[in-house]
A and B are shown apart, each in its own frame.
Chain A
């Protein structure tokens, strides 16, 4: 586990929203697994932090939840992206891309030359 990165503060929300956008409604466990898989198993996600994060997003109106039945016929709470969530995701994604782009220029100045 030592070579796995921790989730940076503030990025988990972005990952959750993006995952919901691509996969559609999803329950907590599914989201957690999906995030780990998408990161190529580079991330060590503490599943416990996911649920407060989901609640925060729900409180802010970016996602909504509903109880439903999972693929294995298990009762689970499903999360879904809202309109406001989509807008926020686009905005946050742009800001994040800008940040990484700037950082990239610093870290790889040779490419510019």
Chain B
């Protein structure tokens, strides 16, 4: 089949002319020698062997036009790969592990770093932040500052603000449910250029109108994608709201982390959140701001204009705005506060998976290299029958490219599964997060490229090696290329690199495993056994503060009366929920700028809470049922007392929280407040009874039930008690404290899991690599070993000979890898709990383990070498 026959007609003409000229000359000679022209022509044709035959032979020799020959090469490569089935399978498996890991990590990077927000023209939409001199980056906007920027900044075509999370209960239809949403300025959807799936966003006069935009997910889940809902009314926390639009499915929130399910106008926020700052306060930072850059305006101009505005505001309002600056980045970027950590974590993971790919690649290269040596005879035959060396090289490169792509395909399949597993991990956060990771187009492109690159690089060495056999020798079955005496062969270099990389990989893995171990020994400061947690938020069902208090107290009493329950207490948010409200406290009467301030996490508790969690009372007393109107009392933890009172007796002291005065009645032991890995934080526990009326919780309330038995069995009975009190009450976060704490360990656990998996794969690949090289060496040297033994070498000597070689390679690799691992460990230090990045155990154990594994990998082939029968060995080769 000629695919393209017309591509090179000129050359066909050429050979035709040449043969015509040849014939003419031959006929001329025949005629000169006395033959008739007919006879001369006949003989000339015989000598030539027929015009058509020569033309065909010539065409064959010239080669096919490239699309056709490429097809042929592909076909041939495929057959060759299919013939060497086991090598192909191992190669594809190795590459797929390498590429699968890379794809998985890249999909994380793609999701959290590279993906622009799902808004119209994401490149011109900015998130603005404020930054006060000397503070950590970054803060939100006070309303007046947002308003000033909106009016003064000519570089923007639109500026919008939103309050990032408000809870609501949604009822009607199925069971009541608590959902989270955002309140936004009416121009929000226009500035973000979000095209609605259905209906429209808000119009300018909507700021105080009860209208709502639903997320596509909520619309599907609760309203069955009913198109008739636009213009209809739904019930949010007991208030009727008119649905104006459905937001696009991809949109969760501007920051791409929070998972908001509805949007209401900013002016309606008080229906969902209490104690909002007044609109004229310049020092309450509570609004997130986005801005659309006007056409043709550069980032530089934006920065200059924001600086000017900041200076103008500082001059106009020195008390609040002095030292404030504005920062901005592209909307949808990682929150600036966590960006550094996240990037570092991704960088560490990227290094690890690239190492893994390199190890896998070296493995396959070694395999192909060995195979290439064994295929020298095949190559020699091809050369002898007329293949060009360039053609052979191309053939081998195509083969390895096919390997790379097949491995890449398998790797992508692998990562489909792994990203799914990663997405299903529950983060310990009290707010809804959208952490879904998937293999997107960008990731597929990346995988395709690294597959191609790996395939190409893998093919280079074998292509070079296999395409230069010395024909005569190779045809005789002699492998000329091995160059027996050479000490530093490519294969040895590859295996040294491989083992060195495995050492780095395993060291990092070891560090994370040690970190998990040390994290599991962290004293949480409370006891998690026998505790059940369950949350409700009666406020979302329209309960007044007084009614909320009564409901919670009734629920607590009913739960305490259940059989098997020995204590039931209430708090707002369980410890270790990832984040919490915190405020600055000073000693009452010393609230000046210079006076010591303690930043403390705030929790509400009821009497008996410390007893139920077995947090020791160090001094003073627990809460009793302190009257709601009486003087505010508080229990602080040791860290709080030490920081604010530095050794003085804190009991009876009065402390000030922006004008609210508490009297300290007790001191309890420290406990982990937000995360397992945190440095000890100051905590202030206040009386739930005293706080519920004027400073209610945004997060709802959590009932904590203690039982000597299995707390999980209490879940159903307690939920029944809630519904007995109010059948429309939404219940959420039902879990045992053990499950809750386990979720809090997610970071060390995920890190240890990821690195453990990658480290394990790396170790296996490197071991296989070393074993492969040693086996290959032994099989190549069978005859030499036979001669040595025939000359009287003992088996132990042969064993040593082979072992020494393997161990020498390992030593070189360890000597190279160890310092590299030592240096790289510093990157990991930010994610380690309670161990130093240069953990002595890790850095001694890992080389020793690797050495032992290498010893086994070298010992097996060595034993085979020692078992060589001299007579057999000499006869076979």
Binary per-residue interface labels of chain A (23-48) against chain B in the complex, 1 for a CB within 8 Å, 0 otherwise: 00001111010000000000000111
| B50:A29 contact, CB within 8 angstroms | no
Query: Is there contact, CB below 8 Å, between B49 and A46?
Result: yes
Residue of B nearest to A55 (CB): B61
Complex alpha-carbon distance, A77 and B388, angstroms: 23
Chain A residue numbers with a CB within 8 Å of B50 are: 48
A14 at the interface (CB under 8 A from B): no
Convert B62-81 into 0s and 1s, putting 1 for each residue whose CB lies closer than 8 angstroms to a CB of A.
10000000000000000000
Chain B's nearest CB lies how many Å from the CB of A13? 11
Q: With contacts A10-B384, A46-B47, A56-B61 known, is A51 near B15, CB below 8 A? A: yes
Whole-angstrom distance between the alpha carbons of A75 and B384 in the complex? 33
- The segment from B19-27, B611-619, B752-760 found at the interface with A is B19-27
B642 close to chain A: CB less than 8 A: no
Q: Are B54 and A48 in contact (CB-based, < 8 A)?
A: yes
- Distance from A14 Cβ to chain B, minimum over Cβ atoms (Å): 13
- 8 Å CB interface, A55-98 against B: 55-56, 59-60, 70, 72, 74-77, 95
Answer whether residue A22 sits at the interface, using C-beta atoms and an 8 A cutoff.
no
Contacts of B724 in A (CB 8 A): none
Check B49–A47 contact: CB distance below 8 A.
Answer: yes
Distance in Å from the Cβ of B48 to the closest Cβ of chain A? 5
A100 at interface (Cβ–Cβ under 8 A)? Answer: no
B226 within 8 A of A: no
B22 to chain A, nearest CB (A): 5
Query: Cβ of A95: which chain B residues have Cβ within 8 Å of it?
Result: 472
| Docked-complex contact A47 and B48, CB < 8 angstroms | yes
State which of B15, B57, B62 has its C-beta within 8 Å of the C-beta of A49: B57
Given the complex, which residues of B lie within 8 Å of A11, measured CB to CB? Answer: none
Asked if B53 CB lies within 8 Å of chain A CBs, one says yes
Do A48 and B21 have beta carbons less than 8 Å apart?
Answer: no
Which of these, A10, A52, A56, A72, contacts B25 with CB under 8 Å?
A: A72
B22 and A28 form a contact (CB under 8 A): yes
Contact A28 B18 (CB under 8 A): yes
B137 nearest CB across to chain A (Å): 64
- Whether B21 lies near A77 (C-beta < 8 A) is yes
Q: Compute how far the CA of A64 lies from the CA of B802 in the bound complex, rounded to whole angstroms.
A: 52
Interface centre among A28, A29, A72 (most CB of B within 10 A): A29
B60 CB within 8 Å of chain A: yes
Check A27–B62 contact: CB distance below 8 A. no
Which residue of A10, A27, A46 contacts B21 across the interface (Cβ within 8 Å)? A27
Q: How far is the CA of A51 from the CA of B60 in the complex (A)?
A: 12
B21-49 contacts to A (CB < 8 Å): 21-22, 24-26, 28, 47-49
Give A45's nearest chain B residue, CB to CB: B47
For A75, the chain B residues whose CB sits under 8 A away are 17, 21
Chain A residues within an 8 Å CB radius of B15: 51
Main secondary structure, interface of B, reads: helix
B25 touches A51 (CB 8 A): no
Contact bitstring B460-497, A, C-beta under 8 A = 1, else 0: 00000000000110000000000000000000000000
Let me know if B49 and A51 touch, CB within 8 A: no
- B49-A48 in contact (CB<8A): yes
| CB <8 Å contact, A29 and B62 | no
Beta-carbon contact of A51 and B21 below 8 Å: no
Interface string of B785-813 (1 = CB under 8 A from A): 00000000000000000000000000000
Task: Say whether A52 contacts B58, CB under 8 Å.
Answer: yes
Residue numbers in B under 8 Å from A77 (CB-CB): 14, 17-18, 21
CA distance A95 to B473 in the complex (A): 12
Tell me the bound Cα distance from A42 to B486 in angstroms: 46
Q: Is B629 an interface residue (CB 8 A)?
A: no
Q: Which residues does chain A contribute within 8 Å of B57, judged by CB atoms?
A: 48-49, 51-52
CA distance A96 to B385 in the complex (A): 19
Kindly list chain B residues whose C-beta atoms are within 8 Å of the C-beta of A60: 388
Assembly CA distance A24 to B48 (angstroms): 23
Picked from A10, A32, A52, A70, the residue with its CB within 8 Å of the CB of B60 is: A52
Complex CA distance for A93 and B58, rounded to whole angstroms? 26
* CA distance in complex: A76, B24 (Å): 10
- Residues of B with C-beta under 8 A to A27: 21-22
Identify the closest chain B residue to A59 (Cβ): B388
- B-side contacts of A47, CB under 8 Å: 22, 26, 47-49
CB distance from B19 to the nearest CB of A (A): 7
Q: B79 to chain A: closest CB distance in Å?
A: 25
**Across the interface, which residues of A come within 8 angstroms of B58, CB to CB?**
51-52, 55
With A46-B49, A55-B58 already in contact, the answer to whether A9 and B384 are too (CB < 8 A) is yes
In whole angstroms, how far apart are the Cα atoms of A27 and B57 in the complex? 19
B22 touches A29 (CB 8 A): yes
Tell me the bound Cα distance from A48 to B14 in angstroms: 15
Which residues of chain B are within 8 angstroms of A59 by Cβ–Cβ distance? 62, 388
Closest Cβ neighbor of A53 among chain B residues: B61
Q: Report yes or no: A72 in contact with B384, Cβ–Cβ below 8 A.
A: no
In the complex with contacts A52-B57, A55-B58, A55-B61, A76-B49 CB distance below 8 A: no
A2 to B765 Cα, complex, angstroms: 63
| B48 engages A48 (CB within 8 Å) | yes
* Cβ distance B840 to chain A, nearest Cβ, rounded Å: 60
Bound form: Cα–Cα A59–B60 in Å = 13
* Nearest-Cβ distance from residue B468 to partner chain A, whole angstroms: 13
Distance in angstroms between the alpha carbons of A1 and B603 in the assembled complex: 111
Indicate whether B296 reaches chain A with its CB closer than 8 angstroms: no
Q: Which residues of A contact B19 (CB under 8 A)?
A: 51
B386 touches A51 (CB 8 A): no
Instruction: Name the B residues within 8 Å of A29 (CB-CB).
Output: 21-22, 25-26
Task: Considering the complex, give the chain A residue whose CB is closest to the CB of B62.
Answer: A55
Please name all residues of chain A whose beta carbon is closer than 8 Å to the beta carbon of B17 when the two chains form the complex. 75, 77
- Which B residues are CB-close (under 8 A) to A52? 54, 57-58, 60-61, 386
Known: A48-B50, A52-B57. A72 touches B28 (CB 8 A): yes
**Is there contact, CB below 8 Å, between A56 and B386?**
yes
Tell me the complex Cα distance, A58–B57, Å.
15
> What residue in chain A is nearest B47 (Cβ atoms)?
A47
Check if A74 sits within 8 Å of B24, measured CB to CB: yes
Contacts A29-B25, A46-B47, A60-B388 given; does A51 touch B18 at CB 8 Å = yes
Task: Write the nearest CB–CB distance from B343 to chain A, whole angstroms.
Answer: 52
| Least distance between A34 CB and chain B CB atoms (Å) | 13
Measured CA separation A52–B55 after assembly (Å): 9
A27 to B47 CA separation, bound complex (whole angstroms)? 17
Is A51 a contact partner of B384 (Cβ separation < 8 A)?
no
Closest to A10 in B: B384
How far does the Cβ of B24 sit from chain A's closest Cβ, in whole Å?
6
Q: Report the minimum CB–CB distance from B392 to chain A (whole Å).
A: 13
Name the residue among B25, B48, B53 with the largest chain A CB count within 10 angstroms: B25
- In the complex with contacts A10-B384, A55-B61, A70-B25, A48-B18 CB distance below 8 A: no
Instruction: Check A51 against B54 for contact (C-beta < 8 Å).
Output: yes
Residues of chain A lying within 8 A (CB to CB) of residue B54: 48, 51-52
Q: Are B61 and A48 in contact (CB under 8 A)?
A: no
Bound CA span A60–B386, Å: 11
> Which chain B residues in 725-744 approach chain A with CB under 8 Å?
none
B21 touches A74 (CB 8 A): yes
Nearest CB of B to A10, in Å: 7
Complexed CA–CA distance, A32 and B24 (Å): 14
Give the distance to chain A from B685, nearest Cβ to Cβ, in Å.
87
Compute how far the CA of A72 lies from the CA of B31 in the bound complex, rounded to whole angstroms. 14
Contacts of A74 in B (CB 8 A): 21, 24-25
Could you tell me the distance between the alpha carbons of A49 and B386 in the complex, rounded to whole angstroms?
Answer: 12
Closest to A99 in B: B472
Q: Considering the chains assembled together, what is the distance between the CA atoms of A67 and B247 in angstroms?
A: 74
7 residue pairs from A and B, CB less than 8 Å apart: A10-B384, A10-B471, A27-B22, A47-B26, A72-B28, A74-B25, A76-B21
> Closest 10 interchain pairs by CB?
A48-B49, A52-B61, A48-B54, A29-B25, A29-B22, A47-B48, A76-B21, A52-B57, A77-B18, A55-B61
User: A residues near B, CB below 8 A?
Assistant: 9-10, 27-30, 32, 46-49, 51-52, 55-56, 59-60, 70, 72, 74-77, 95
Given contacts A28-B18, A77-B21, 8 further A-B contacts (CB under 8 A): A29-B21, A51-B15, A51-B18, A51-B54, A52-B61, A74-B21, A75-B21, A76-B21
